[in-house]
Amino acid sequence: RMPGVATVRYVGKTEALGTLKRVLGKDAAVADLLSQNPLPASLEITPTEGGATLEGARALVSRLATLPEPEEVGGGVEWMDRFAHGQRLLWLVALGVGAVLAGAAILTVATATALVLHARRDEMEIMRLVGAPEHVVRLPLLLQGMMQGLIGAVLAIWVLIGGYAIIGPHIEPLVTETLGVTHLAFLQPLNVLSLMAAGTLLGGLGGWLAWGRP
């Protein structure tokens, strides 16, 4: 067995045409207009875990290209390279947008909490006069900020779920065929808990910033 190869699967002409129809989706009827099947039979090679990298794919394609049997070797290395660059760029953009949204969330909660602080200043002054410690007086502001952040996170999660329910069925077949992913996992329980915790912390930070205002 060639190094870097985990499995090899034969893909016949009929199966290749069926895969093309699944990728085309509602436009699959176009393939039926062909007088004959133009797709060749091929061998689908799955790399080992250690070879499932951009460098490993390049090395494997180079080794396969030296064999006399195949007419053409397509490893999608160029596509993988562009995908990796795009993924890094998307990560940086997402990081920047996330930082801006986090700052906006903190500012919004801090402003809302400050308004509540101003509206209840008489009640808070009475609590101070009767001897309530300052942290007891202002702790509700912190809790209110955390609650606002949690509610905002829950609403955002529901928006994401709704968006995925609309878009997911359209992109899942394409992702499955191009990336070999059998099932798209969206918002696992750990992700949901992380988003809720992040929203609560951001809301608490906004409440804490308002806490320090006179």
DSSP string, 15-56: HHHHHHHHHHGGGTHHHHT-SS--PPPEEEEEEPTTT-SHHH
Q: What pLDDT sits at residue 182? A: 58
> What contacts 157, CB < 8 A, 6 or more positions away?
187, 192, 195, 196
Are 95 and 25 within one domain? no
Q: What pLDDT does 63 receive?
A: 79
Structurally, the chain folds into a number of domains equal to 2
Higher pLDDT, 206 or 181: 206
Per-residue model confidence (pLDDT) at position 102: 84
Share above pLDDT 90 across residues of the chain, in percent, rounded to a whole number: 2
- Give me the sign of the Cα torsion angle 170, 192, 93, 87: negative
Last residue of a domain, one of 22, 54, 75: 75
Task: From 17, 46, 75, give the residue that closes a domain.
Answer: 75
Whether residue 181 has pLDDT greater than 80: no
Residue 34: CB atoms within 10 A of its CB come to 10
71 in the same domain as 83: no
* C-beta atoms surrounding 37 within 10 Å: 13
SS3 state at 7: strand
> How big, in percent rounded to 5, are the helix, strand and coil portions of the chain?
70, 5, 25
The pLDDT of residue 135 is 76
Average per-residue pLDDT in the chain?
79
Q: Average of pLDDT values for 15-32?
A: 78
Confidence of residue 51 (pLDDT cuts 50, 70, 90): low
Cα torsion angle, 146, 148, 150, 152, sign: negative
- The closest alpha carbon to 47, from 3, 14, 15, belongs to 3
Whether residues 87 and 61 share a domain: the answer is no
Q: What range does the domain containing 20 cover?
A: 5-75
pLDDT at 179: 60
pLDDT at 168 over 60: yes
Asked if 46 and 28 sit in the same domain, the reply is: yes
- Give the pTM: 0.57
Quote the CA–CA distance of 178 and 171 in Å, as a whole number.
Answer: 11
Statement to judge: residues 195 and 101 lie in one domain: yes
**Do 69 and 96 fall into the same domain?**
no
Cα–Cα distance between 211 and 143 in angstroms, integer? 11
Residues 162 and 90 in one domain: yes
CA dihedral for 49, 52, 58, 63, sign (positive or negative): positive
Q: How many helices (H) and strands (E) in the chain?
A: 7, 2
Assign 211 a pLDDT band (cuts: 50, 70, 90). low
69 and 169 part of one domain: no
Same domain, 130 and 87: yes
Summarised one tens digit per residue, pLDDT across range 135-164 is: 777 788 788 888 888 998 899 889 888 888
Distances (CA, A) of 145 to 38, 101, 112, 205: 62, 16, 8, 8
pLDDT of residue 73: 78
Average pLDDT over residues 53-76: 76
Residue 137 sits in the same domain as residue 196: yes
Q: Are residues 85 and 101 in the same domain?
A: yes
H or E stretch at 90? helix 77-119
Co-location of 114 and 9 in the same domain: no
Decide which of 22, 56, 75 is a domain's last residue: 75
